[in-house]
Amino acid sequence: MRIGFIGLGAMGAPMAARLVAAGHEVRGFDMRKAAVEALVAHGGHAAQSAQQAAEGCDLLWLMVVNGEQARAVLFGSEGGVAAMLPASAIVVAGCTQAPAQAKALASQLAESGVVMLDAPVSGGVAGAQAGALSVMCSGPQAALDAVRAAFDAVAKRVFHVGNEAGLGSTAKMVNQLLCGVHIAAAAEAMHVAERAGIPLPAMHEIISVSAGNSWMWGDRGPRMMQDDPPVTSAVDIFVKDLGIVLDQGKLARQGLPLAAAAMQMFLAASGLGHGMADDSQVIRAYRALNGDKKG
């Protein structure tokens, strides 16, 4: 398959390399020249522009940072690539974006007869490097079948969650809702324990073997017990991600009380000056809220 790949960042670079390794002809573009050169070293081809990556491709895969960038690449005033896509081309929107954005992109592409798959991924950089991502995909079954071999090169699991664009992004958003609420809940629980004087390592171990356990408790809990942990993902990332959840809830007229409450804690942590800190540090917002020293 001839694949144009735009966005060779932490996720995109290993994904594109795996597509090359699976035997596809990959033409990659990124604003950073070094990223393009790295793809060439893996056996891919360099594109000098987004247009060059898109030209004549069977599949155009966008792994840019967000929906705004995806829109700029496809329809930007300075040479959007949508106009030059073959009518048979399939666009895979792999970036994380709001469901409404994914839907709008698909509609606009449909005007020129191009099919889009709304296909964000999860599994992180490690998953991308191992070809073990999960793809949450919505769009026509025929399009999914057509690109299935490419998906299988980067993903361990491909979930087809519906025929309309927006549903793939909604599935990803549901995961982010749970992640955000679970991190804030972990902080709330730790905060109760630390205020009562329970040793936090014991508390962490108790929950790890109890029904209150979560993936986030296991992952973020240990960093919650540190004063200045390494940043794996920042507080402001969840301000963004829960922001997408609540914006979508607003559009859909759907009240989401837990996501809203969790958002306030991430916002407060950011307002306290911890926006760039590890998201486990949302616990500082709890300390501040209740007047505890470490806040």
How long a stretch of residues is the chain? 295
CA atoms within 13 A on the CB side of 228: 0
Residue 172 is among the residues annotated as catalytic for this protein: yes
**Other CB atoms within 10 Å distance of the CB of residue 253:** 6
Site track 131-170 with a copy of itself (rule: CB under 8 A), x = hit: ---x-x--------------------x-xxxx-x-xx--x
Is there binding between residue 214 and a copy of itself (CB under 8 A)?
yes
Site track 47-76 with a copy of itself (rule: CB under 8 A), x = hit: ------------------------------
Closest CB 68 distance from a copy of itself, rounded Å: 22
Is there binding between residue 256 and a copy of itself (CB under 8 A)?
yes
Is there binding between residue 40 and a copy of itself (CB under 8 A)?
no
Q: Which residues contact 126 (CB under 8 A, 6 or more apart)?
A: 132
Select the span of 55-63, 110-118, 146-154, 204-212 touching a copy of itself (CB under 8 A): 204-212
Q: Which residues contact 248 (CB under 8 A, 6 or more apart)?
A: 98, 99, 100, 170, 173, 254
Distance between CA atoms of 194 and 287, rounded to whole angstroms? 10
For residue 133, what is the enclosing H or E element? strand 133-138
The structure tokens listed for 146 are 């057509």
Give the interface size with a copy of itself as a residue count (CB under 8 A): 68
Is there binding between residue 202 and a copy of itself (CB under 8 A)?
yes
Nearer to a copy of itself, 46 or 260 (CB): 260
The structure tokens listed for 59 are 């599949």
Q: Which residues contact 192 (CB under 8 A, 6 or more apart)?
A: none
Amino acid at residue number 168: G
Is the distance from CB of 239 to CB of 199 less than 8 angstroms? Answer: no
Is there binding between residue 25 and a copy of itself (CB under 8 A)?
no
Nearer to a copy of itself, 134 or 270 (CB): 134
Nearer to a copy of itself, 47 or 155 (CB): 155
The structure tokens listed for 132 are 């073990």
Nearer to a copy of itself, 29 or 238 (CB): 238
Q: Which of 78, 209, 227, 228 binds a copy of itself (CB under 8 A)?
A: 209
Select the span of 39-47, 109-117, 180-188, 222-230 touching a copy of itself (CB under 8 A): 180-188
Q: Which residues 81-120 are close enough to bind a copy of itself by CB under 8 A?
A: 99
Distance between CA atoms of 206 and 215, rounded to whole angstroms? 14
Which one is catalytic: 172, 240, 250, 294? Answer: 172
